[in-house]
Each structure stands twice: as structure tokens, then as C-alpha cells.
Amino acid sequence: MANKKLTIIASKGALDMAYPPLILATTAAAMDVDVTIFFTFYGLEIIKKGNADNLKVSPLGNPAMPMPIPIPTFISSMPGMEVMATAMMKSMFQKHGVATIGQLLALAQEAGVKLIACQMTMDVMGVKQSDIIDGVQFGGAAAWLDEAVDSQINLFI
Amino acid sequence: MSEEIKFDQYLDAKGMSCPLPILKTKKAVDALAKDQVLKVESTDAGSKNDMTSWAKRTGNEIVKTEEGSGLYTFYIRKTV
């Protein structure tokens, strides 16, 4: 019996938004599902060399983000707030035994998850193929669609 | 007193959060021979449902599940 298939479009490069694609991809691979992740726009940040564990999260425009004390929106835009929010979230993750983005990315590659970087957005944003981690393929919409039409699950994140 | 189940390998997944208990379990089961049993201990309250779904999907058998004081114990037999 052929394996089930999952494809994910990872379009966000914030720390919190990098988790869902990689958690689902690694878990699906562990459940014998063939997985493809297509990294486009800001999702490319996840697969830039040495960048997976440098992603950031901002409280700005995110009223649901838990903060130690209530913080007015205009304070969220001040210098240092992004650094603080990022450090806070990383420490929360670490405390609860959550893998880092870098660890999940390595586990995904080890499990044979197919990674495709969007060549068009790379060109637009000045990202070179040599800026991207090894083991990633380069392609466009057709490369993702080729996998997606045969998949049971296709997610845009 | 519950009946002791014999196991061949032990995986300590205590303190790990989703998806690590599943990823580590998958690796550990892959390393087993057919019909060998893996004992997994997890503190992740989601792991009961996760482990059941994982086993169902991969065709492995959860021989026994124990639960108590925030600790979840699974005995998984490799069937494939």
C-alpha cells in the first residue's frame, strides 16, 4: 500500500509560525506519511543557513501573546520588545521540553521530508541557493502542485 | 498489583513535549526486531491520544497503557 501524503506551504518566518509546519511534518513522517514542505516568502527564513534558531516573534499586532504583565500596544513597538518577546517564548518552550526549530528541521531532514525552496521568492528577496541549507530542492508552484494533487492533506501556513 | 509486562527496550520521554515523544518512539520502535516490546514513559498529557493514533497509523500494537500521577506508560509491540 502506498504511503499517505502531506504537503505544507510554509509562508511565515516568525518563531511561533515556524513550529506548526515542522511539528506536523516530523510527526507525519513518523506516522509513515510522505511529506513535502514548500518554503515561500518569509518561510524561507527557516531554511536559510544558520537561521533556524534565530527566528523572532513580536508582540506587536498579536494581542493574544501572553506577557508577564499587560503591555499597551504602543509599548510593543518600542526597541527591544521583539528581543524580549523572543527570549521569553524560547525560554517557555525550553522549560516545557519543546524541541527548537533547528532540531525539528534536522529531524525532518533525517526522516526524509522533502524540502522545496520557492525560487521565485528567493529571486525577489535576493536569496541565493548557497544561502539555503543543504538537501533542499528549488522549484516553483508546479513542483508543489505535483505533490499536492496526490496528497490527502495540503496545508497553507 | 498489575501484571508486569516484559519489555526489550526502554524510552524515557519524561519532560518532553509534542512531537518529541512520538518522534523518539518511532525511532526506538524502528530499532526493534519484530514482536519486541518498547516501554515508553511520558509526562505529556497529550501523549495518550497521540500514542494511540501513532500506533493505529503505523500498525504497531499498544499492549498496555498505564496512567497515574502525571505519568503515562506505554508498552508497544513492534508488529511490522
Q: What pLDDT shows up at residue A96?
A: 93
Residue B3 lies in a domain: no
Residue B64 lies in a domain: yes
Residue recorded with cell 509546519: A21
Mean pLDDT (whole number) for B41-65: 96
Q: Is residue A67 pLDDT above 90, yes or no?
A: no
B54: which chain A residues are within 8 Å (Cβ-Cβ)? Answer: 30-31
User: Percentage of residues in chain B with pLDDT exceeding 70?
Assistant: 96
B16: which chain A residues are within 8 Å (Cβ-Cβ)? Answer: 97
Q: Is residue B1 pLDDT above 60, yes or no?
A: no
The string of pLDDT tens digits covering residues A93-135 is 999 999 999 999 999 999 999 999 999 999 999 999 999 999 9
> What CATH number is associated with residue A121?
3.40.1260.10
Does the CB of B17 have a partner CB in chain A at under 8 Å? yes
CB contact under 8 A, B54 and A107: no
Hey, which residues 41-100 in chain A have their CB within 8 Å of chain B?
96-99
Residue B28 lies in a domain: yes
Residues B35 and B56: their CA atoms lie apart, in Å, by 16
> What is the total count of domains within chain A?
1
> What is the total count of domains within chain B?
1
The string of pLDDT tens digits covering residues B11-44 is 999 999 999 999 999 999 999 999 999 999 999 9
Q: Tell me which of A151-155, B2-6, B21-25 is least confident.
A: B2-6
Residues A87 and A81: their CA atoms lie apart, in Å, by 10
Q: What pLDDT shows up at residue B2?
A: 61
Residue B14 lies in a domain: yes
Active-site residue among B18, B23, B45, B71? B18
Residues A119 and A39: their CA atoms lie apart, in Å, by 9
Per-residue pLDDT band for A1 (boundaries 50, 70, 90) equals low
User: How many Cα atoms are found within 13 Å in the side-chain-facing hemisphere of A112?
Assistant: 9
Residue B43 lies in a domain: yes
Residue B62 lies in a domain: yes
Contact B14, B52 (CB under 8 A): no
Query: A113 or A1: which carries more pLDDT confidence?
Result: A113
Per-residue pLDDT band for A66 (boundaries 50, 70, 90) equals confident
Residue A149 domain boundaries:
5-56+102-156
Residue A117 lies in a domain: yes
Q: Is residue B73 pLDDT above 80, yes or no?
A: yes
Minimal Cβ distance to B17: which of A26, A98, A107: A98
Residue A16 lies in a domain: yes
Residue A66 lies in a domain: no
Predicted ipTM of the assembly? 0.88
Residue A37 lies in a domain: yes
The string of pLDDT tens digits covering residues A27-61 is 999 999 999 999 999 999 999 999 999 999 998 88
* pTM, two decimal places: 0.92
> What CATH number is associated with residue B50?
3.30.110.40
Angle between helices B20-30 and A15-30 (to 10 degrees): 30
Active site residue B18: yes
Residue of A nearest to B50 (CA): A27
The string of pLDDT tens digits covering residues A69-92 is 888 888 888 889 999 999 999 999
Hey, which residues 48-67 in chain B have their CB within 8 Å of chain A?
53-54, 57-58
Residue B24 lies in a domain: yes
Residue B33 domain boundaries:
9-77
Minimal Cβ distance to B17: which of A33, A96, A111: A96
Q: Is residue B71 pLDDT above 80, yes or no?
A: yes
Residue B32 lies in a domain: yes
Mean pLDDT of chain B: 94
Nearest to B58 by CA among A27, A152, A127, A100: A27
Residue A70 lies in a domain: no
